[in-house]
Chains A and B, each alone.
Chain A
Amino acid sequence: MAALDRLLGPLNPNKVAQTTAPTTIRVLVFGASDRQGKSVAEFLIRGGKYIVSAIFEDMDHEFQDGILTTVG
């Protein structure tokens, strides 16, 4: 693989892609266990430009709609 890289040099499509691809932004969302934070995480991931992480205190957390505690 290294030999192939050397052979292709600056025309190596992988290297071209690396230099021209837009920088991916890494986002960390606090509060994603609530409706507001969850929707932010969903919106960002749908855009496709971001690597989205979300912090959860309880890894077994399930979203519940329609109660006061989901609004922060």
Chain B
Amino acid sequence: MIVLKKQQVRTLQGSLADPRSYSHYLKDIDVVYLDANFWHYLDMADGDFEQAGQQYFEEKIACVNACEAAGVKQMIYMALDNFPENKYVPHFHAKAKGMFRLRGRRWADIQWSIISVQRNCRQRCCTRHMPTTTSYTSTTLPKIQQATIQIDSS
């Protein structure tokens, strides 16, 4: 955070888990860039991918609603495309679920963009971003490796 402060980025305290903690900041904002760390949610859910994905999805949608209510003019939502059902990867699924919800909703005056990794980028992206050595617990790590294997075989 100090790195950003030195570059004159205004640092504010808030949590995606609680829209009341950041909604007052939104009144002065034109554009919101919305991303969150899936792995943080996985940590909080003790390695339960389903629970992590659901929490991730709900918090992001709550943020979108707060932005719309506050009159934010533009949103940028970071997503990943989903895999077919037989290649279910929770990290991708949680992001894609939010993307589909946003695509399907009716918007007031807010402009929005979804930035998503394309299909042909997946393998390179994920094999680079999912190293075999992590700071995760032994119960979580095999699941991540399993997801990586599924991606590699696609």
Query: B: which residues have CB within 8 A of A?
Result: 1-4, 7-17, 22, 25-26, 28-40, 43, 63, 78, 129-131, 134-136, 144
Contacts and interface: CB of A to CB of B under 8 A. Distances in A.
Contacts of A56: 1, 11-14
- Main secondary structure, interface of A, reads mixed
Nearest to A69: B39
19 contacts: A28-B12, A29-B9, A31-B35, A33-B1, A33-B37, A36-B35, A42-B7, A45-B7, A53-B10, A54-B4, A54-B11, A56-B12, A56-B14, A57-B16, A59-B1, A62-B1, A68-B131, A68-B144, A71-B37
Interface of A: 25-34, 36-38, 40-42, 45-46, 50-57, 59-63, 67-72
B129 A30 contact: no
